[in-house]
């Protein structure tokens, strides 16, 4: 009978100990031996309890620093303006006036088609115009007393206008045989040769304005409310190693992609050295929010319990267990959005030995974040 009683007592003590490990330490309850009025030898020997003196801890003050919250995505470089150069009319290539890869100005001639027949037509139209104008001038300068029918004068005026129209038409057709750059940029590879007969729409070369480029990428819809036109964008490419390119958000799409639940964003980058080529793959970081005075604590100070987080703050010589709301995670540090004030001493080492309102002794105060 005595043996059964001893087993029951041991089972009771074991159950109380397990329950304290699961719950009591989180809410600051004393260990089960203390509940039963028993002090273990280890408690009497160590300086970790009330009987043995305050627990030694290492603390660090909550520091204030700026933080930048970002989201990462991938994108592709596009030229701000890009076009395939073609001819409006059919013709024989007479001259190619550009070199591959050359930078050209807006309106600069790129290709000249054979215009011999049109030049002859233009000369003929100009001759007819001159003749019509001369007849009209002579009719208007008749000597006093000479008469001319009003109908004849109207006919001469009509002939002059028709001749002017034919000249303008020939000049316009002649201009179409001169293919020019619609904007300033850099031409690509040549796709025609002198003497080739080309048709309307035949590709001649490409033209890209890369002095300023656009990068398109997608951002999850959960960040939509924090995306702003003008927000900073940082891009990098494996082609350029550690180099970083700085741009800004230019356009935010008005629709959400229902398949990916993301929104398309277009950013613009200055590209004076033309390092960013159209089609280049980039990893981009979009700035969502910048906080100049964020509160930061060491990562090891955080004591997570389920979906909550706690820290121990030293106040009046005791470890006060404080619930906090976390924000951005940085290397070795965590942002605290609620629950702490700047400069408060937070326990960063020795957290596992603490419970709420336990007397503590600060043995070291760290001046810089722990790694």
At residue 8, does pLDDT exceed 80? no
- Across the chain, what does the average pLDDT equal? 81
Confirm if 80 and 269 have CB atoms less than 8 A apart. no
Residue 91 sits in the same domain as residue 142: no
Q: What is the tens place of the pLDDT at every residue in 291-303?
A: 888 888 888 889 8
Q: Cα angle at 82 between 79 and 229, to 5 degrees?
A: 45
Residue at which a domain ends, from 231, 261, 290: 290
- Are 159 and 197 members of one domain? no
Per-residue confidence band for 98, with pLDDT thresholds at 50, 70 and 90: very high
- Is 308 among the domain residues? no
Q: Is residue 14 part of a domain?
A: yes
User: Are residue 277 and residue 210 in the same domain, yes or no?
Assistant: yes
Is 263 part of a structural domain of the chain?
Answer: yes
Say whether both 121 and 224 belong to one domain.
no
The confidence score (pLDDT) of residue 149 equals 66
pLDDT cut 70: percent of the chain above it: 82
Which pLDDT score, from 0 to 100, does residue 368 have?
Answer: 63
pLDDT band at 3 (very low <50, low <70, confident <90, very high): very low
Structural domain includes residue 161: yes
State the Cα–Cα distance between residues 38 and 84, nearest whole angstrom: 89
Both 217 and 265 in one domain: the answer is yes
For residue 20, the enclosing domain spans: 1-38
pLDDT value at position 133? 82
Residues 106 and 194 in one domain: yes
Condensed to tens digits (0 to 9), the pLDDT of residues 167-182 reads 888 888 888 889 999 9
Q: Is the pLDDT of residue 269 over 90?
A: yes
Are residues 104 and 131 located together in one domain of the fold?
no
Q: Same domain for 75 and 213?
A: yes
Which pLDDT band holds residue 34 (cuts at 50, 70, 90)?
very low
| Placement of tokens 């005026």 in the chain | 157
Question: Mean pLDDT highest for which of 31-35, 93-97, 316-320?
Answer: 93-97
Of the residues 176, 195, 221, which one is the last residue of a structural domain?
176
CB 350 within 8 A of CB 56: yes
**Residue 12 domain flag:** yes
- Mean per-residue pLDDT for 31-37? 42
Q: What is the pLDDT of residues 211-248, one digit of tens each?
A: 999 999 999 999 999 899 999 999 999 999 999 999 99
Residue 326 lies in a domain: no
Which of 273, 290, 307 is the endpoint of a domain?
Answer: 290
280 and 222 assigned to the same domain: yes
Q: Tell me whether residue 19 is in a domain.
A: yes
Where does the pLDDT of residue 369 fall: very low under 50, low under 70, confident under 90, or very high at 90 and above? low
CA dihedral (286, 288, 291, 296) in degrees, to 10, reads -80
Residue 280: CATH number of its domain: 2.40.30.170
Tally of domains within the chain = 4
**Which residue reads 């970790």 in tokens?**
48
pLDDT band at 118; cut points 50, 70, 90: confident
Both tokens of residue 337? 């959005």
Confidence of residue 46 (pLDDT cuts 50, 70, 90): very low
Is 284 a residue whose pLDDT tops 90? Answer: yes
Same domain, 150 and 190: no
Same domain, 93 and 198: yes
Of 112, 68, 31, whose CA–CA distance to 296 is shortest? 68
Same domain, 156 and 216: no
Residue 142's pLDDT is what?
Answer: 66
Give mean pLDDT, residues 312-328: 89
């Amino acid at each position: 009978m005595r043996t059964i009683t001893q087993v029951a007592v041991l089972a009771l003590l074991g159950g109380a100990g397990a329950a304290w490990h699961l719950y009591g330490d989180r809410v600051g309850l004393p260990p089960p031996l203390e509940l039963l009025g028993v002090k273990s030898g280890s408690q009497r020997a160590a300086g970790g309890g009330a009987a043995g003196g305050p627990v030694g801890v290492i603390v660090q003050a909550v520091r204030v620093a700026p933080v930048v919250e970002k989201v990462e995505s991938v994108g592709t470089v596009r030229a701000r303006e890009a076009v395939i150069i073609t001819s409006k009319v059919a013709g024989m290539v007479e001259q190619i006036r550009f070199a591959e890869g050359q930078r050209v100005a807006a309106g600069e001639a790129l290709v000249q088609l054979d215009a011999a027949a049109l030049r002859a037509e233009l000369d003929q139209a100009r001759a007819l115009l001159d003749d019509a104008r001369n007849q009209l001038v002579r009719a208007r300068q008749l000597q006093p007393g000479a008469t001319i029918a009003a109908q004849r004068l109207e006919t001469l005026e009509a002939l002059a206008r028709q001749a002017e129209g034919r000249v303008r038409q020939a000049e316009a057709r002649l201009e179409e045989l001169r293919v020019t750059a619609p904007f300033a940029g850099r031409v690509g590879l040549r796709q025609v040769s002198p003497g080739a007969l080309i048709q309307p729409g035949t590709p001649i070369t490409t033209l890209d304005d890369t002095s300023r480029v656009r990068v398109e990428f997608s951002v999850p819809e959960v960040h939509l409310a924090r995306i702003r036109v003008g927000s900073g964008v940082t891009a990098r490419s494996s082609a350029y190693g550690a180099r970083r390119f700085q741009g800004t958000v230019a356009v935010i799409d008005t629709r959400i992609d229902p398949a990916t639940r993301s929104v398309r964003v277009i950013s613009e980058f200055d590209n004076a050295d033309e390092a960013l080529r159209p089609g280049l793959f980039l990893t981009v970081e979009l700035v969502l929010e910048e906080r100049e005075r964020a509160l930061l604590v060491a990562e090891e100070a955080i004591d997570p319990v389920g979906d909550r987080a706690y820290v121990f703050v030293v106040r009046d010589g005791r470890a006060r267990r404080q619930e906090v709301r976390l924000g951005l995670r940085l290397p070795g540090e965590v942002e605290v959005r609620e629950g702490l004030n700047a400069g408060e001493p937070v326990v960063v080492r020795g957290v596992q030995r603490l419970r709420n309102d336990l007397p503590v002794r600060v043995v070291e105060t760290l001046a810089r974040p722990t790694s």
